[in-house]
Amino acid sequence: MAGETTVDERIQDIEVKLAYLEKRMLDLDSVVCELGDVVMALRDELRELRDVPSDEPQQGTARRLEDDVPPHY
């Protein structure tokens, strides 16, 4: 009988660990889904920002600090 109790205890320990792992998996799944939504929102925002025309010079022309006049001049 002592051997059966040990097996029962081991099975119970495994069931507890499995329940813990299932809970952690569900928690991580919700975090991954939330992060996926954030990434998609950031992609959309980046796409919108890239589509906005800017007053900046085109690529290839370097800006110099001397060209930027402070507002009080």
Q: Supply the pLDDT for residue 13.
A: 97
Q: Supply the pLDDT for residue 61.
A: 66
Contact in structure between 34 and 28 (CB atoms under 8 Å) = no
Tokens describing residue 23: 């809970």
Helix H or strand E segment including 54: none
Q: In the chain, which stretches have pLDDT less than 70? A: 1-3, 54-61, 73
Nearest Cα residue to 43 out of 33, 35, 53? 35
pTM above 0.75, yes or no: no
